[in-house]
A and B are shown apart, each in its own frame.
Chain A
C-alpha cells in the first residue's frame, strides 16, 4: 500500500470544491444528475460544472475547463465515456492538481481489450500524479459527514449521517445496503463504490477507515478480488480496531464467472474466502438485510464482555424463535441463576401462575406492565451469567411501553441490550428513537435481534478470545 493514497482518499472525501465533467442541458444527462445530487444533498462548497459551450446549468456558472476555474479543485466527477475520461479528463486533472476522480462510466476492463487499454492509461496517469480513481464503472461516492453526494443518484427520503461506512465493488449492492440501513434507522457515514478498482483497492479503504473518526463499523460488499491474501490481511488489521462486516457475492461457481463481466474480476474460491474471514476476524453475512441488521447493532450497542445472551419476553413463541436464531448462529443461550429468577418472581408477584425457566424469562401477561417489565430486565442484566439481554415486547394500544425505562437502564449498565418490538415499522418508530439514543439497537423481528446479538458475540470472541466462531 502506498502512503499517499490514504491522504488522497481523505482529501477526495472531504473536498473543498467539486467539478463535474460530462454535463449537458438534457435533464437525464449523467453529469447533470451529479450536479443535481450534489446541490440537493447540500454540499457546502462550490460545485463547478464543466462544458466547452454551455454557460449555465441548474443556476450554476458552467466552466469551459478546470483551468478557467482559477482555484484548486479537490474532487472531479466524470460523467464522460471511457475514451473521453481517459484522453481528456484525467490528463487535465493531473495538470490541475486534482486529488481524486470519480469515474462513473463503464466501458473499461470489464468489456474487453480496448477498454482494458483505456484503464491501463487511466491508472498510469493517476498513479504518476498521485490521484485516486474511484471506479471506473460506479454509481459514485458519498460522504454524509460532508454532505458530499458525488453520484448520479439521490435519496428522496433523506440519507442521514451515521456510524456505518460502506465500501462496495457493486454500486447496486451498495445502494441496497444504504437503503437497508436507512430502513433500520442507522445512518451511513462514507459510501464508496470501487467498481473496477483501477488504483483504489479494498485494502486502501480499510486502511483509511481504520483512522476515520466518523466510521465505527465497516461494511464491505465484495464480488471478486485478485489478491485475496492482501485483502484479508488489510481487513484483519482493520477488524482489530473496528468490526468489519462482509458480504460476498458470486459465491457459487456460475455467478463467479458472471462476476468477471461485471467488474472485471472473477469471484474466486468462495470456500477459502469464507474460512479466511473466520481466520482474520471478519464477520461474514449472507445478504444486505442481515448486513444492515448486524452493522446497526455493532454501531449502536456497547461492546459486550461475553457471549451469553438471555431473552426476556411476555410472549413465548417469539422468544423461542430468538433462541433458535441465537443457537443457529453459534451463540449458546445464557442460563440465568435461581437468584435472578427469585428476583423476577418477586417483581411480578407470587400469585401469577407461571413457571420461570432459566432462559427465556417469560413474564407472560404481567410483562405488559411498565412497572414490571423494565425491573425484570434489570434483574436479568444484573445476573453474572448474562452478558447481553434481548427484551422482546409487543405494542398494545392501551399500555405504555417500557422504552423509556429500558433507555434509562441502558444508560446505567455496560451490557448490551438489544430490543425486538413486535409491531409495525410505524408503531415502533417512537420507541426506537428513544432507545437508540441510549445505545439500544431496536429491531422488529426477534430473529433479527438474535442475529444482532450473535454478531456482537462473534466480534467479542474475535477480540477477546482470538476466535470468531466455533460453530457452523
Chain B
C-alpha cells in the first residue's frame, strides 16, 4: 500500500488520520466522508462537498490527542464557523504543515472501538469493545488472536459486557453485526498481510443508524 511506503519514506511511524482511513477503506472498513485541505482556498469547496454539520481537525502526523490540544472543532453549521475553525486550527498548530480534515459529523450515540495490537507472546491480536471515553473507563473490550473467521468475530462481538448496546434499545436500531464482524475479520487480515503495521486503533467506531463508521483511526508502523 502506497500510504505505508510514503510514510516510511518520510521517516514517519504514524499514518495521518486521513491516510489511515484511506488504507482501511481499501479493506471495506466504512469510514466517514472527509476531505483533506491544505490551504484556505480549498475550504469552501470541501465544505460544499461534505455538507453541514461537519467536523474539522488538524491532520498532522506529529500530533496525537488532537481533541485535548484543541485541534478539533465539532458541529460546524455554517461557512463562517468553518472559516473561524480553520483559522483556529492553523493558529494553534505548533508543528507540521497546516493540513486540515473536513469531515461529515456522524450522528450516533453509540461508540465502539476496534483495533490491532501485536503481543510479544501471542502476535497479532484484534481488539473490540465499547469506544469513546468508555474504552478507558470501563475497559469493556475483548481480544482474539488473528486471523479468525466471521463466526469467531460474531462470538467476539457477543462477548462484551455491554453487548446489549448493540441491540435495538431506546429507539435506536439494532447494529448491523455482520458489517461489524467484517470489520474485525478485515483487521485480522490486515495484520497478516502487513507486518509493517504494529497497531491500529479505530476509535470511535460510531454507530450511525444501523451501520458502524470509523470516525477516527490511527495506524502505527513497526
Contact = CB atoms under 8 A, between A and B. Distances in A.
Interface of A: 225-229, 232, 268-269, 271-273, 275-276, 278-279, 466-467, 469-470, 472
Contacts of B148: 279
Interface of B: 119-123, 125, 142-145, 148, 151-152, 155, 158-159, 161
B119 A466 contact: no
Chain B contact surface mostly: mixed
Given A225-B121, A232-B122, A470-B155, A276 B145 contact: yes
A272 B158 CA distance: 17
Nearest to B143: A275
A257 to B, nearest CB: 14
B177 to A, nearest CB: 14
A472 B122 contact: no
Contacts of B158: 470
A227 B145 CA distance: 13
A467 B148 CA distance: 13
B159 A470 contact: yes
A467 B158 CA distance: 11
Contacts of B125: 272
Contacts of A232: 122, 145
A268 B122 CA distance: 10
Given A228-B123, A271-B143, A275-B144, 19 more contacts: A226-B121, A228-B122, A229-B123, A269-B120, A269-B121, A272-B122, A272-B125, A272-B143, A273-B122, A276-B143, A276-B144, A276-B145, A278-B159, A279-B144, A279-B148, A279-B152, A466-B155, A470-B159, A472-B161
Nearest to A280: B145
A277 to B, nearest CB: 11
19 contacts: A225-B121, A226-B121, A228-B123, A229-B145, A268-B121, A269-B122, A272-B119, A272-B122, A272-B143, A272-B145, A275-B143, A275-B144, A275-B159, A276-B143, A276-B145, A278-B159, A279-B145, A470-B158, A470-B159
B121 A228 contact: yes
A165 to B, nearest CB: 24
Contacts of A466: 151-152, 155
Contacts of A269: 119-122
A469 B125 CA distance: 19
Contacts of B122: 228-229, 232, 269, 272-273, 276
A273 B148 CA distance: 16
Contacts of A278: 159
Nearest to B142: A275
Nearest to B123: A229
B43 to A, nearest CB: 44
Contacts of A268: 120-121
A279 B146 CA distance: 10
A272 B119 CA distance: 8
B162 to A, nearest CB: 11
A43 to B, nearest CB: 38
A20 B159 CA distance: 51
A206 to B, nearest CB: 17
B155 to A, nearest CB: 5
A276 B143 CA distance: 7
A268 B119 CA distance: 9
B119 A228 contact: yes
A269 B127 CA distance: 14
Contacts of B152: 279, 466
B149 to A, nearest CB: 10
A472 B140 CA distance: 11
A209 B148 CA distance: 26
Contact of A467 (B120, B142, B155): B155
Nearest to B154: A467
A29 B159 CA distance: 53
A269 B117 CA distance: 12
Query: Closest 5 interchain pairs by CB?
Result: A228-B121, A228-B122, A275-B143, A268-B121, A272-B143
A472 B129 CA distance: 14
B147 to A, nearest CB: 11
A470 B159 CA distance: 6
A18 B200 CA distance: 54
Contacts of A227: 121
A472 B145 CA distance: 19
A396 B154 CA distance: 50
A278 to B, nearest CB: 7
A232 B146 CA distance: 12
Contacts of B161: 472
A472 B121 contact: no
Contacts of B120: 268-269
Contacts of A229: 121-123, 145
